[in-house]
Amino acid sequence: MEEKFAELEKKIGVEFKDKNLLIQAFCHRSYLNENPNFELGHNERLEFLGDAVLELIVTSYLYFTYPEKSEGELTSWRAALVNTKEIGDTAEKLNFHDFLLLSKGEGKEGGKARLCILANTFESLVGAIYLDRGYDTAKDFVEKNLICKLPRIIELGLYRDPKSEFQEITQEEVGITPAYKVLKEWGPDHKRNFVIGVFLGDTLSGQGEGQSKKEAEEKAAKEALNKKSWKNLKK
């Protein structure tokens, strides 16, 4: 297995001192269910650490690179850069799927489920790099593979947040702040699904489904904007 992961080290340009950290970063919880004697744990603790390290790296980069920009703008740019889609796409381009340790069932998953696993693995890898090689190496990895996407995000306006846009417009148009409520949720803890509705008072204005509450809320706000024909109102 170490020989296989040596290929990944070359691909990402990081040579690990502790090879087990690298392998564990790619070990999904489901793999341990089918391989209970596997000597390493799953990657969820590394993901927890990597998520924080990733946010610090991106936040620091934005803070020092764009001193003239407001906190609100930088927050929007950061959210657009570290969302599941962008991180998952980055992991896909690095062929992380060739190294994932998954159960047979999870291995057959595609679409959003696979994208979420890839995004979580990217965060796990950031955590592993941080532990093994330190902050500067993790920073170099993130800048080279993820932060490089920022100019495109800014140019295409991909940082515009549907939730913020919907709230701003509804407060101006009807004087109401949108409220988000979970309408339905299902699935195991590591693979939760949510349907969330956005309400103006008692009126359901839109709803969205996602594998996180944040994703479902954004989709609900986007649907509400489209249904109300407000999306281009302020442009």
Virtual torsion, Cα 184, 48, 146, 18, nearest 10 deg: -140
H/E segment holding residue 199: strand 193-200
What digits encode the pLDDT tens for the residues 139-185? 999 999 999 999 999 998 888 778 878 888 888 888 888 999 999 99
**Phi, psi (rounded to 5 degrees) for 195:** -115, 120
User: d(Cα 159, Cα 27) in Å, to the nearest integer?
Assistant: 31
H/E segment holding residue 183: strand 179-186
First to last CA, the chain: 54
DSSP 82: S
User: d(Cα 120, Cα 2) in Å, to the nearest integer?
Assistant: 21
Mean pLDDT of all residues in the chain?
90
Bridge partners, 181 (sequence order): 197
Residue 198: Cβ-neighbour burial (10 angstroms; 0-12, 13-18, 19+): buried
User: d(Cα 195, Cα 18) in Å, to the nearest integer?
Assistant: 41
For position 111, what pLDDT does the model report? 66
Is 155 considered catalytic here? no
What digits encode the pLDDT tens for the residues 20-74? 999 999 999 999 989 989 999 999 999 999 999 999 999 999 999 999 998 888 9
Domains of the chain plus CATH, in order, are 2-155 (1.10.1520.10), 162-228 (3.30.160.20)
What digits encode the pLDDT tens for the residues 85-119? 899 999 999 999 999 999 887 766 666 778 889 99
User: d(Cα 59, Cα 149) in Å, to the nearest integer?
Assistant: 15
Task: Supply angle C-alpha 53, 111, 107, rounded to 5.
Answer: 80
What digits encode the pLDDT tens for the residues 184-195? 999 988 778 999
Q: Tell me the CA distances in angstroms from 177 to 77, 79, 112, 163, one per residue in order.
A: 23, 21, 30, 11
- Of 51, 106, 215, 217, the catalytic one is 51
- Of 86, 106, 123, 132, the catalytic one is 123
Helix 44-65 and helix 71-81, axial crossing angle in degrees, nearest 10: 140
Is 51 considered catalytic here? yes
